[in-house]
Amino acid sequence: MFSFEVDDRILHVVLGRPEKRNALIPSLLPAAQAELVERAGDPNLCGLVLRSLGPFFCAGYDMSLIPSEPAQDGRMVGELDDFVAALAGLDLPTIAWVQGGAYGAGFELALACDLRLTTAHARWCMPPAKLGLLYSLDGMCRLQRAVGEQRARYLLTTAAVISGLDAATWGLVLEALDDEQSLERRGAELLGELRCVNAASARGAKALLESASPQLDPNLVAQAERLRAELFAAAQRLPKP
């Protein structure tokens, strides 16, 4: 599902399930997470790019697997939460290239990166409200930091679909490009910029910015996880389409 390759001090993490719009298979995420952490620990790296094959960045969690792959620890998708946390916790700068669309878990993967580029007509959506599920608390906080409270509330409570242009206007992404070719060119430029700076300084700046983020109340985290587990269990009881 994920492939990893280092090219000129940049770690390329590539989603390779285009026939399913790169929908995530949770059972494959622990191994991918272990490889991600190991590869990203290379001190010679100066950045990471998260991208995907095909016309669609990521359709999110493969919903067809909900009845057959329940989270063993009571969370909605424990494997996904852990992978996203590992991606967000990397100390090197990360960039997501989003073409076509980012839905649900795909949206969360992109949010876990430091910088995001998208195509102007890409569709961004956080659909749990329509699915009877609940987005992760960490993801909600990242979304609120990116777009502000009002727009975060709007996206999370209505499951609205916004364009790449809207995402750029709202501050969700750095830039919205005309097409995939422009996306790749601008992405390559950003990677070149990362190669030209002091890697230790860039990592230090990221660490300081992360340390300034407010810490979540453990009681609130536990409450959120209980609610997510209840909603996920209810979704599992629904007939499979």
| d(C-alpha 22, C-alpha 56), whole Å | 7
Determine the pLDDT at residue 235: 64
- Please give the share of the chain, as a percent, with pLDDT higher than 90: 72
Determine the pLDDT at residue 105: 94
Determine the pLDDT at residue 69: 47
What are the boundaries of each domain within the chain?
A: 2-195
Q: Contact at 8 Å (CB) between 169 and 118?
A: no
Average pLDDT over the chain reads 90
Determine the pLDDT at residue 68: 46
Determine the pLDDT at residue 223: 79
Count CB-CB contacts under 10 A for residue 131. Answer: 16
Closest among 29, 224, 34, 195 to 133, alpha carbons compared: 224
> What tokens does 135 get?
């987005």
Determine the pLDDT at residue 219: 82
User: In the predicted model, is pLDDT for residue 76 greater than 50?
Assistant: no
Residues 195-240: tens digit of each pLDDT = 999 999 999 999 999 888 777 788 877 777 787 777 777 765 655 5
Determine the pLDDT at residue 238: 58
How large is the average pLDDT for residues 160-177?
98
CATH number of 2-195: 3.90.226.10
- Residue with the bigger pLDDT between 148 and 77: it is 148
- Interior/surface letters 59-94, b for 16+ CB within 10 angstroms, e for the rest: bbbbbeebeebbbeeebbbbbbbbbbebbbebbbbb
- Residue with the bigger pLDDT between 73 and 34: it is 34
User: In the predicted model, is pLDDT for residue 100 greater than 80?
Assistant: yes
Alpha-carbon Rg for the chain, nearest whole angstrom, is 17
Report residue 26's pLDDT band, with 50, 70 and 90 as the boundaries.
confident
Count CB-CB contacts under 10 A for residue 224. Answer: 18
pTM to 2 decimals?
A: 0.90
Determine the pLDDT at residue 161: 98
